[in-house]
Structure 1
Amino acid sequence: MPYTPVNSYDGDLKIWSGESVSHYFDPHLSIGQIIFQEMRRHPQLVGQISATENTVLTRQELHANSMKVATYMRFLGLLQSDVVGLIGRNTTHMPAVAYACLFNGIAFHSLNITYDQSTIEKLFNITKPRLIFCDGDEFEKVRAATASLDVKIITMRNHPADSISIDEVLATPIEENFQPARLEQGNDQTLAILCSSGTTGTPKAVTITNSRQILAANHQLTTADIQYSHNTLDWITGLLTTVTSGVFSTTRIIADNAFDPAFALRVIEEYKVTWTIQSPSSMVMIASSPEFENSDLSALRCFQFGGSRVAMEVQQSIRSRLSSDCLQFIYGFTELGALASVNCHFDEKPNSVGRLVSGLKLKIVSEDGQSLGRGVMGEVCISNNQYWAGYYGNQLETRNLRDSQRWYQSGDLGYMDQNGFLYIVDRKKDMLKYMGTMYYPHDIEFVISEMPDVADVCVFGVWDQINGDEAAAAVVKKPGSDLSAEDVVEYVSMRTDSKFKQLNAGAIIVEDLERSANGKTNRMANKAHYLQVKGRS
């Protein structure tokens, strides 16, 4: 049965609350300690399959590899105050590196492989890792970016001649009577460091607390489940998949290639995947793939997606191929380190991100900081009442995001309906004004996404000295369509009589939307591309 959150509402304080947290494991154990003991409980189960490198590891073998890497780190004298850098694909031994860090109580700082040398340099200069695991594909870039640091670099695949190979690390004998470390700061200690989406500049280094909250909404996973996510460890969903597979003893399917919808469909069918989490862009590609209609997705019992919206037509298309009602729109943000809500009621509440998971509280806040009641839009604020170390080395931005009462100010605008279901409307910073009238890009994106030939869309404001923010759109058409920019502008014109919600600055057709490294649509980058195409500054 899917996890169905139950929420309560305090009408006086105007605060919604999830259920109390149930402790399935000793609450004093760290995530690393739980994974260590669970791996020992199920040694013969298949723990991991690489669909690209054609490797199969039992949990015993994965456990042994993790201890070897952890022993290697101990041999180098790494302390819990140190940081390990990761920048690689989902290769066979990357999960073992992550588990090794968890066993040692050492936070890893994971970066996306697409980051340029300058961004890598800026980010690793913040956390100053002593050890970095990367793919040989990025070795020279990483070495140049970290030239000023005292760091040892180990490659995970395609090993350059002058690099240390992961195979050399795995030759390390396991420390006698190896045991996972007790966390010096308890479960307030940082588990991992990921990166913010970076849509407004250099990404920030986001600390993730060693909290049991990361397991919320996935306690239904068992040893019978097959998990698959193409997301790497620099995504919160990649971290979530790595942790839940270790904790709940599932079989995890990994792959080190770039996301390909036909490949993803083949993985789900061939390995009878029961649980997957996908980005909106991946869903669009899957639903538009020629292989989609003939793929067998019947084994899936949980199909989660989140990060941004997906056109209802795409949701319905994917849902029509599932044998059970298991398409779940989820909401969360990296800084929270976990899911915030999940929608298990597609028919009753389409496009809602659902109800709060256990352990969280939520309020909707006005511009002047007042809590708002049901049905009123404002900024979504969430509290897990737990310690958070904030943005690594950036206390100013930390204070801007989380107040003294431990409320995260998400920057998302939304509202709660009468039944306690959350709806996300837009990003607060994306608000536009046309001749003094406020509107949001999503208002127009929703209209455009209804067009049968539209696969994806991003709307943004183009500044006009007289009118203010004139809406423009970058549109991805479906394969084989002859949709034109003029068709899009005309369709929007026919669907609304509000002058400010017209595409007053026009539209362009693009092969794909500009995205941040984590796959989210980058509104600023799409606007910059539009201005370049139109020859405007």
Structure 2
Amino acid sequence: MPYSPVNYYNSDLKIWSSDQVVHYFDRHLSIGEIIFNEMQRHPKLIAQISATENTILTRQELFENIMHVASYIRSEGLQQTDVVGIIGRNTTNLPAVAYACFFNGIAFHSLNITYDRNTIEKLYNITKPKLIFCDGDEFEKVREATSQLNVKIITMRNHPSDSITIDEVLATPIEDNFQPAELEHGNDQTLAILCSSGTTGIPKAVTISNSRQILAANNHLTTSDIQYSHNTLDWITGLLTTITSGVYSTTRIIADNAFDPVFAMQIIKDYKVTWIIQPPSALALMVNTPEFETCDLSSLRCYMYGGSRASLEVQNRIRSRLSVDCLQFAYGFTELGAVATINLHFDQKPNSVGRLVNGLRMKIINDKGESLGPEELGEVCISNGQYWMGYFGNQQETRDMRDLKRWFHSGDLGYVDTDGFLYIMERKKDMLKYQNIMYYPNDIETIISEMPEVAEVCVFGVWSNIYGDEAAACVVKKQGCNLSAQDVVDYVQSRTDSKYKQLNAGAIIVDDLMRSANGKTNRIANKTHYLQVTHRS
């Protein structure tokens, strides 16, 4: 069972802190070096099972695949300053690609398969990968998006005739006396690069270091654990699962299909999964199926979820099917590169995201940057006291996110109660999440503003237990123009191939937008008006 965090409060500084991280491995070893050693300690244990491709790999077999991929990357002449791109589902050989990057001390930049061509182009123009591993399903989109880069593209499945296949890579001879790379910058060096939307709509590439903080909440894992996460490598949870499975020699269950709640419940039952991490939308989808009432979740010993909120009804229904009370709300953000808080006290603190995990400090600040005490609402700031490379190629936003005293400014508004439990009330920033894909209202507002009939527009998120923030719009049409709400919805759909950047909650035509006293558009007020007009709760 996971540990119960112990937190301390300094009333003079108004700072909460936790115990130090317990180091089970030499502190100087990189994540890649740890996994390299651990893979060889348990060669006969099953490392990975694909529930969709029907493959089973022992740790020895997975280790050999990693060595082939790592040797291929070295044969291409990549240095530790280079980047490898990844856009793929959880196929049999994708974990080997991630571990191979770890072994070589080369960061990978992973993107979601649903990103449109323009987003891929913007992101990879930032990091300029030398190799990209992607599924054949997205090959043409990726090739078009990276046509200006000198990059080789390797496909992981459904291979087009003109692509390099992962099978060719796996045929690369293993380098003689292969050893994992010694990191040029130690454990401050970047391990992976994930994505976060920028405040201006320009995507940001978030660096994650080789810090041990990513292990802090999961030191309870052992070789008897069976891990399952449907999240791919572009999410911190997908990265977390990949790392912890390699470090703690667990068995990992993967699947390369779109998330299916019934299939997910079957995986838990058939493989006796003990550890799972999901977004709240997955919980909602599961409890809304008829099969949920008879599903078998009895093997679970750690059920983590996070990324946004889940209703108490959904949480209680999940708990009703568990044999051990192990549902845990975890809070964190990509920039931190780890879980920040975990709630292991659901009955006592049902709406809290919990207490700090080991190795962190927290404070709540007001608009003047002053620290606040218990029960006072402000911005949540977290410090791990460690080096952070920041947003790749974006120093200004890096400074905005983390101050000179190494405090991350989360952009979330919350408070800490007198028992040290954190409560998140709302986002300070406008970022929205649809099926865990981050986007900004401005992304869609820009598209709608292209319409010649549109005078003004305000886009906001309408919450769905299943999908998260569904975009909706209040639109002011130009005088004398004929424009319907459906025209707006259809236009947005025609201008983007991304499901999350569409008006999934609809639109309404209004005479004028709701505004604040200073004349600026009030997003919250427009959303309230929209909900009243459409009778949505």
Q: TM-score, normalized by length of structure 1?
A: 0.82
- CA positional deviation for 1:351: 1.6
The residue aligned with 1:411 is 411
Shift of 1:177: 1.2
Distance 2:320 2:505 in 1: 35
Kindly indicate whether residue 119 of structure 2 is the aligned counterpart of residue 119 of structure 1: yes
Question: Helix, strand or coil for the counterpart of 1:339?
Answer: strand
Counterpart of 2:98 in structure 1 is: 98
CA distance in 2, matches of 1:192, 1:531: 37
Contact 1:2 1:326 in 2 (8 A): no
Structure 1 residue 224, shift from structure 2 partner: 0.3
Report the CA distance shift for 1:59/1:212 in structure 2 as closer, same or farther (over 3 A): same
Quote the residue 1:423 is aligned against: 423
Aligned pairs for 1:236-251 within 5 A? 236-251=236-251
Taking every aligned residue pair, what percent have the same amino acid on both sides?
Answer: 69
Structure-to-structure mapping, 1:70-81, within 5 angstroms: 70-81=70-81
| Contact 2:208-2:388 at 8 Å conserved across structures | yes
Q: Does 1:275 align with 2:304?
A: no
1:69 paired with 2:44, answer: no
What's 1:29 paired with? 29
* Cα displacement string for residues 451-506 of structure 1 (whole angstroms, at most 9, x for unaligned residues): xxxxxxxxx9xx9xxxxx9999846599xxxxxxxxxxxxxxxxxxxxxxxxxxxx
Unaligned runs of 5+ in 2: 433-440, 446-456, 467-488, 514-537
SS in 1 for 2:329: strand
What's the CA shift string for 1:500-528, capped at 9, x where partnerless?
xxxxxxxxxx9xxx9xx9x9x97xx68x5
Residue by residue over 1:411-453, the C-alpha shift from the partner in whole angstroms, topping out at 9 and shown as x without a partner, is 000011111111111101359xxxxxxxxx9xxxxxxxxxxxx
Q: Partner residue of 1:153? A: 153
Q: Deviations over 1:119-177 (max 9, x none)?
A: 10110010000000000000011011111111010000000000000000001111111
Structure 1's 143 and 171: CA in aligned 2 closer, same or farther, altered over 3 A?
same
Q: Distance in 2 between matches of 1:48 and 1:206?
A: 28
Partner of 1:2: 2
- Is the 1:414–1:424 Cα contact (8 Å) retained in structure 2? yes
Q: Deviations over 1:166-190 (max 9, x none)?
A: 0000011111111100000000000
1:225 corresponding residue in structure 2 = 225
Residues in 2 aligned to 1:239 and 1:470: alpha-carbon distance in whole angstroms: 35
Q: Distance in 1 between matches of 2:43 and 2:419?
A: 44
Deviations 1:90-119 (A, max 9, x none): 000000000000000000000000011111
Residue 45 (structure 1) aligned with residue 20 (structure 2): no
- Give 1:402's aligned amino acid: R
Verify: 1:532 aligned to 2:501, yes or no.
no
Post-superposition offset of 1:202: 3.6
Which residue does the alignment assign to 1:284?
284
| Residues 412 and 424 in structure 2, CA contact (< 8 A), matched pair in contact too | yes
Distance 1:131 1:472 in 2: 37
Question: Which residue is 1:297 aligned to?
Answer: 297
* AA at the equivalent of 1:126: I
Change (3 A) 1:190 1:477: closer
2:49 aligned counterpart, secondary structure: strand
Partner deviation per Cα, 1:4-24 (whole Å, 9 max, x = no partner):
110111110000001111110
- The alignment of Structure 1 onto Structure 2 pairs a total of residues equal to 463
Q: Are positions 1:208 and 2:208 aligned together? A: yes
- TM-score normalised to structure 2 length: 0.82
TM-superposed CA distance for 1:532, in Å, is 2.8
Matched-pair contact (CA < 8 Å) for 2:22–2:216:
no
Which residue matches 1:495? Answer: none
C-alpha separation in 2, matches of 1:535 and 1:115: 31
| Contact 2:281/2:465, CA 8 A, preserved across alignment | no
- CA deviation map 1:308-360 (0-9, x unaligned): 11000000000000000100000000000000010111111102111101110
CA distance in 1, matches of 2:44, 2:176: 22
**In structure 1, the residue corresponding to 2:218 is in which secondary structure?**
coil
The answer to whether the Cα contact below 8 Å between 1:415 and 1:424 also exists between their aligned partners in 2 is: yes
Tell me the equivalent position of 2:346: 346
Residue number in structure 1 paired with 2:324? 324
For residues 61 and 197 of structure 2, the distance between their equivalents in structure 1, rounded to whole angstroms, comes to: 34
Give distance in 2, aligned partners of 1:474 and 1:430. 12
> What aligned pairs does 1:113-512 form with structure 2 within 5 A after superposition?
113-197=113-197, 201-430=201-430, 474=462
**Hey, what's the Cα distance between the residues in 1 that align with 2:65 and 2:196?**
30
- Structure 1 runs, 4 residues or longer, greater than 3 Å off: 197-200, 469-478, 528-531, 533-537
Residue 455 of structure 1 aligns with which residue? none
Instruction: Report the AA paired with residue 532 of structure 1.
Output: A
- The answer to whether the 8 A contact 1:193-1:208 is kept is yes
1-structure distance, mates of 2:121, 2:208: 21
Output the CA distance in 2 between the equivalents of 1:475 and 1:166.
Answer: 40
Give me the whole-angstrom Cα distance separating, in 2, the residues matched to 1:251 and 1:60. Answer: 13
- Consecutive unaligned residues of structure 1, counting only runs of 5 or more, are 432-440, 442-459, 464-468, 479-509
Matched residue SS, 2:132 = strand
SS at match of 2:103: helix
- Report the aligned-residue RMSD: 2.6
Q: 1:369 to 1:472 in 2, by over 3 A?
A: closer
Tell me how far 1:200 sits from its aligned partner: 6.3
Name the SS of the counterpart of 1:532 in structure 2. strand
**In structure 2, C-alpha distance between the alignment counterparts of 1:373 and 1:34, rounded to whole Å:** 40
Letter of the aligned partner of 1:75 in structure 2?
S
